[in-house]
Amino acid sequence: MRVLLTGGAGFIGSHVLECLLDAGHEVRVLDVLLPAAHGPAASPRLPRDVELVRRDVRDADAVAQALSGVEAVVHQAAMVGLGTGIGDLPDYVGVNDLGTAVLLTQMARSGVHRLVLASSMVVYGEGRYSCAEHGDVPAPPRRPEDLEAGRFEPCCPQCARELTPGLVSEEAPVDPRNGYAATKLAQEQLAAVWARETGGVVAALRYHNVYGPRMPRDTPYAGVAAIFRSALERGEAPRVFEDGRQRRDFVEVGDVARANEAALAWTTRASGSGLRAFNIGSGSPRTVGDMAGELARAIGGPAPVVTGAFRLGDVRHVTASSARAVAELGWSARVPFADGVSRFAVAALRGG
């Protein structure tokens, strides 16, 4: 299949590119090579037979050119992470939402009807919680005064007891709690509108915490695993926010790449049109402290320091059920946490 891969020179996109090529697809890459993702001296290493269109996904003419002859799109291009604060909102909205709108408009004009969209678990906000007395309940937004006092766990809105976290399914209510999360949900909503109006098919992959080779280092947009590793390479202890017990689902980037290839195949056999969301996680929840500790052991560096610091836009616990991806995409994560972290500890990162 002839595929346009946006963001195909980036961290996740470069692994998706390799996976699609290995599966026999013909791939064209559209990537503007933002310094925040690639470092200030970006120099993509793409296979010789892959065409690179070095333009912005918000450039309608460039997108139209890149879509020529294409049968499907795998859309990875995005700004990621919490960034530096509210001042990042225009860039997040511009790259993630305007960029997606331009892409979808040009896909409609070009007659391309299959899309794999890189979404995120951040659309859920807090994860699934239950109360011993009141059953499943939504976690209210955490209050700054509680966080400052070291009260990190969400409490039941009815009885104020601490809640027990569980696995989130794709049917869970969405509740984005920071600017980045809001833009990822908007991407899904725009894609759903496009699908309804054009008869298109969308597989929205809600990535959980992706880590692995080629992560960007030392930028405000880097993932927590890369931030911890960078500290260890400087001989410093990883600094862990809150109490380190925040639950996440860390999934290795090679598994995420395979999920994209599986989702692309699914778009060719899906009945009808519309958007279908899939959680993409390892299925083995870990804490942020686990990641810091495992990396410190693998590198032989100082033990993590738990700081008690917090970011208001962070959520406490969010971990996935990937049962739908297993059943419908035929995909499941293969890389165990310890093996993935051990490899990540010595893998090349992107300079920032």
Residue 220 and residue 171: Cα distance in Å, rounded? 31
Q: Which of 92, 124, 180, 207 is catalytic?
A: 180
Reported as type and span, the H/E element at residue 233 is helix 224-233
Q: Is 180 an active-site residue?
A: yes
Ranges of beta strands (E only) in the chain are: 2-6, 26-30, 51-53, 72-75, 114-120, 128-131, 135-136, 164-168, 201-207, 209-211, 239-240, 247-248, 250-252, 274-280, 286-287, 305-306, 319-320
CA angle 55–58–63, rounded 5-degree value: 60
Contact indicator for 266, 275 with CB cutoff of 8 Å: no
Tell me, letter by letter, the H, E, C secondary structure of 54-121: CCCCCCHHHHHHHCCCCCEEEECCCCCCCCCCHHHHHHHHHHHHHHHHHHHHHHHHHCCCEEEEEEEH
Please give the full DSSP string across 14-41, using - where no structure is assigned: HHHHHHHHHTT-EEEEE----HHHH-TT
Residue 178 and residue 130: Cα distance in Å, rounded? 23
Active-site residue set: 180
